[in-house]
Amino acid sequence: MKILLDTSDVQAIKRIAATFPVWGVTTNPAIVATGRVQLFDLLPAIRDALGGKGTLFAQVISSSVEGMITDAQKLYERVDNLVVKVPVTPKGLQVIKELSAQNIPTLATAVYGSAQGLLGILAGAKYVSPYVSRIDAQGGNGPEVVSELQSLLSMHAPESELIAASFKSPRQALECMLIGCKGITLSPEVFDLFLADPAVAIAVTQFEEKWKGAFSTDCL
């Protein structure tokens, strides 16, 4: 199971990576723009926050085929262990196909349907990311799309990997894990909610109080 963070917040990445083995970090143009740090300054900072490890994902910016290919080449040449994110559009499929021929790894992104995601993989992408909560917001069923896409990949492209994205709650992410999804990317806010149940803190406090009451010490 691969857990990735979806953010440009370097301090949040550093905080979470200090306590949990984060597999990688995903970004997109909107996330990078929110942080207002240039991408080629941001990516090394993210790498440092991960302790020099992990896989980074960054998206092309250009809207033309030639421009997206150039963006991808620049990203891949300048950042170690990077996967280029390409939207699954007619132009994007052409870009994924060409980058695959150049041995540049890609993630098929902006996926709202299982057939669309499969096309991205068949064009040459190694990874694919369906947008779970965005699909739900449009009246669809995000986990169902993940399930369908997972089945399609198992039958037609077993070497590829599905990394579900766009979660608003831990429950959404758990539903995809239960389906068998091997990778998810979470915002730091949703990651923190996995540990936010107040009952946990209460239970830990009770353990400490009982121990101190019996042994007058807070350690072994």
Residue with tokens 């970004």: 27
Q: Give the whole-angstrom CA distance, residue 88 versus residue 112.
A: 9
To the query of whether residue 212 is one of the catalytic residues in this protein, the response is no
Supply the angle between the helices 170-179 and 142-156 in degrees, to the nearest 10: 30
Helix extents (H) in the chain: 10-17, 29-35, 39-49, 65-78, 90-101, 114-123, 132-137, 142-156, 170-179, 188-193, 198-215
Counting Cα atoms < 13 Å in the Cβ hemisphere of 80 gives 8
Contact between 23 and 55 under an 8 Å Cβ cutoff? The reply is yes
- How far, CA to CA in Å, does 15 sit from each of 18, 45, 51, 164, 191? 5, 13, 11, 23, 12
Indicate which residue of 85, 168, 182, 210 is catalytic. 85
Cα separation of 59 and 74, whole Å? 11
**Residues labelled catalytic:** 85
